[in-house]
Amino acid sequence: MYQYDEFDSRLVKERAEQFRRQVQRRLNGELTEDQFKPLRLMNGLYLQLHAYMLRVNVPYGVLSSRQMRKLADIARRYDRGYGHFTTRQNIQYNWIQLEQVPDLLNELADVEMHAIQSSGNCIRNVTSDQYAGVAADEIEDPRIWCEIIRQWSTLHPEFSYLPRKFKIAVTGSPNDRAAVQVHDIGLRMHRNAAGEPGFEVIVGGGQGRTPHIGKTIREWLEPEHLLSYLEAILRVYNLDGRRDNMFKARIKILVHQIGTDKFRQLVEAEWAAIRDSELQLPQAEIDRIAAHFAPRDYPQRNDAGDLLAEQASQNAAFGAWLKANVAEHKTPGYAIANISLKSLTAPPGDITAEQMDVAADLADEYSYGEIRVNHRQNLVLPDVAQEQLFELWEKLAANGLGTANIGHVSDIIACPGLDYCSLANARSIPIAQEINARFQEMDRVHEIGKVSINVSGCMNACGHHHVGNIGILGVDKKGKEFYQFTLGGSSGRDAALGERTGRGFPAAEAVDAVENILNTYVELRAADEDFLETYRRVGMQPFQEALYGTA
């Protein structure tokens, strides 16, 4: 993974000290809350329902074991012993004290981490495929370009006061695990006929109260022009994005209002003026960064499929975990192991400091000291020898980290909701936990198969409900929590926004509704169809009949 050089290190140190002075100026009254708020937000510090919440970036979801141990240490010493992994590959601490934030940021800087631009109307943490660099289906490693984007976007002098927040995601695989079509900019890597890598540029996707699937404005962009093209998009947005109404200020609204063609013309005209500027990356810099992501020198191993099959036949729990949580690695004899943070005893994405230490230790022992965070709020050990999967699983299971549900009904995305968030209208975590409790019978979970359930506690859609196969949106109706359902959403290659089923359900009936939807699917599915395939074939009507009866 990328290692800071003297410049990167100095920047995060200086930034922490700058924030120390800003906090001091706030505490002694030189800055008003109105002036301070954007400054603390640009260092990831929100004021939530109960306390300040600090969001720390995990750039493109890559963590070292050392960094994970520091996150555990921070959870213990500055917070209440736990943290929450988000849908943007970040970690949030819920009980942070303003006075202590400068020291905390300084400690993060020691392990090459920061909270810069994890909030605010600026370019946020760049996200990517949690399997980057190891996925069997990968065309090109996106991490190199993510790191280049991370540096370019950090403290960008021109784009730190945009109309609204700005999110960029990159995938190097055709099987999109980074939800690039629902980002302000999505970059999808391809190879051309000559075998050279390049980017397809997608803009104007997003969720929130006005969801849009992004539009491709350029089919092919040579990598050396990546930054000039991004800069052209950002400049058009900075100048022409709406600033009169924060609900219409995202780039998706601009693209929608002026049209994709007009937007493309503006970007291309701007790009023509800057494409050959200093923004063109020298090959030496691309090479320097790429060297940090050079493929590992894996000891040669044979495929251990037979061993795994035998272990699975002897231990059904391991078999279930192997089937749900282990993904194909590009190197024979190796595997990608997912760690579910969706057990019954934790809110989705929550993890205790002790579990963070366990994950770090297991990464050291089994996965070259590296951990990934994915946008579905789980962790990944990317480089595990197949023959060590069984003992890895035993240790995970002993620490509450062995839940075998990745991609299944209880692997639910949920925002913090009204239990923590000051924007929420309804609770998300209890709904997720009740669904999880209803589907504890693993045979039944695996019988239902692949399905994504995403829960948001308000229309800002942090729980990605628009792109859940089953989306659940909590709303407040005259002081009571109601849950509206959407079906058919997807954040993958075939990205789609879910369709509303009809009227919402009170909290007490929401889980029954989920079960009803899933039973309907199981009845209707043909052969090996997963939920989304069945929904796309049969449409909304049978589900509406199941939920609301025939008229």
Q: Which amino acid is at 234?
A: L
Q: Judge whether 474 and 483 are in contact, CB under 8 Å.
A: yes
Q: How far is the CB of 49 from other proteins (least distance, A)?
A: 5
**Shortest distance, CB of residue 413 to other proteins, whole angstroms?**
16
Closest CA to 473 of 516, 444, 502: 502
Residues 6+ apart with CB under 8 A from 244: none
Contact 148, 226 (CB under 8 A): yes
We find the least distance from the C-beta atom of residue 10 to other proteins, in angstroms, to be 5
331 binds other proteins (CB under 8 A): no
Candidate list 90, 118, 355, 501; residue touching other proteins; CB under 8 A = 355
With beta carbons less than 8 A apart as the criterion, state whether 408 and 446 touch: yes
Residue 423 touches other proteins, criterion: CB under 8 A: no
Does 442 contact other proteins by CB under 8 A? yes
The beta strands (E) that lie in 100-213 are given as: 127-128, 168-171, 185-191, 197-203
How many positions of this chain bind other proteins (CB under 8 A)? 87
Could you tell me if 101 and 55 are in contact, meaning their C-beta atoms sit under 8 angstroms apart? no
CB 546, min distance to other proteins, A: 28
Does residue 90 interact with other proteins by CB under 8 A?
Answer: no
Do residues 93 and 74 lie in contact, with contact meaning Cβ atoms separated by under 8 Å?
yes
Stretch that binds other proteins, among 25-33, 205-213, 292-300, 523-531 (CB under 8 A): 25-33
Residues 174 and 162: their CA atoms lie apart, in Å, by: 31
Which of 402, 463, 468, 504 is in the footprint of other proteins by CB under 8 A?
Answer: 402
139 binds other proteins, rule: CB under 8 A: no
Interface of this chain with other proteins, residues 109 to 128, rule: CB under 8 A? 121
Task: Choose the stretch contacting other proteins; rule: CB under 8 A; options: 127-135, 383-391, 402-410, 539-547.
Answer: 402-410
Task: Output the smallest distance, CB 260 to other proteins, in A.
Answer: 22
- Contact status: 281 vs other proteins (CB under 8 A): yes
**C-beta of 118 vs 544, nearer to other proteins:** 118
What are the φ and ψ backbone dihedral angles of 491, each rounded to 5 degrees? -110, 5
Verify binding: residue 433, other proteins, rule CB under 8 A. yes
Contact residue for other proteins among 140, 141, 147, 350 (CB under 8 A) = 350
Q: Do 11 and 151 form a contact (C-beta atoms < 8 A)?
A: no
- In the window 476-535, what residues touch other proteins (CB under 8 A)? 479, 481
Shortest Cβ 408–other proteins spacing (Å): 11
How far apart are alpha carbons 458 and 320 in whole angstroms?
Answer: 34
- Contacts to other proteins from residues 235-254, by CB under 8 A: 235, 238-239, 243
Least Cα distance to 485 among 508, 454, 460 occurs for: 454
Helices (H), 350-455: 353-366, 389-398, 429-438, 442-448
> Amino acid identity of 168?
I
- Binding piece for other proteins, criterion CB under 8 A, among 233-241, 485-493, 524-532, 535-543: 233-241
Shortest Å distance, C-beta 345 to other proteins: 5
Q: Cα dihedral angle (105, 110, 113, 114), rounded to 10 degrees?
A: 20
Binding residues for other proteins restricted to 141-160, rule: CB under 8 A? 151-152, 154-160
Per-residue CA distances from 10 to 4, 55, 151, 489 (Å): 9, 21, 13, 43
Of the ranges 20-28, 132-140, 179-187, 257-265, which one interacts with other proteins (CB under 8 A)?
20-28
**Are 337 and 392 in contact, with CB atoms under 8 Å apart?**
yes
Query: Per DSSP, what are the bridge partners of residue 336?
Result: 327
- Could you say which of 404, 453, 462, 495 contacts other proteins (CB under 8 A)? 404
Residue 428 in tokens: 């998300």
Q: Which of positions 32-61 make contact with other proteins (CB under 8 A)?
A: 33, 35, 38-39, 47, 49-52
Q: How far is the CB of 46 from other proteins (least distance, A)?
A: 10
Choose which of 136, 139, 258, 279 interacts with other proteins (CB under 8 A): 279
Q: How far is the CB of 205 from other proteins (least distance, A)?
A: 22
- Identity of the residue, 149 or 497, whose beta carbon is nearer to other proteins in the bound complex: 149
Question: DSSP string spanning 159-195?
Answer: SSS-SS-B-EEEESSSS-SS-GGGSSEEEEEEE-TTS
Q: Which is nearer to other proteins, 135 or 396 (CB)?
A: 396
Which residue is it, tokens 């926004």?
497
For other proteins, the closer of residues 133 and 430 by Cβ is 430
Q: For other proteins, which is the closer residue by CB, 271 or 543? A: 271
- Determine which helix (DSSP H) or strand (DSSP E) holds 506, and give its type and residue range: strand 505-506
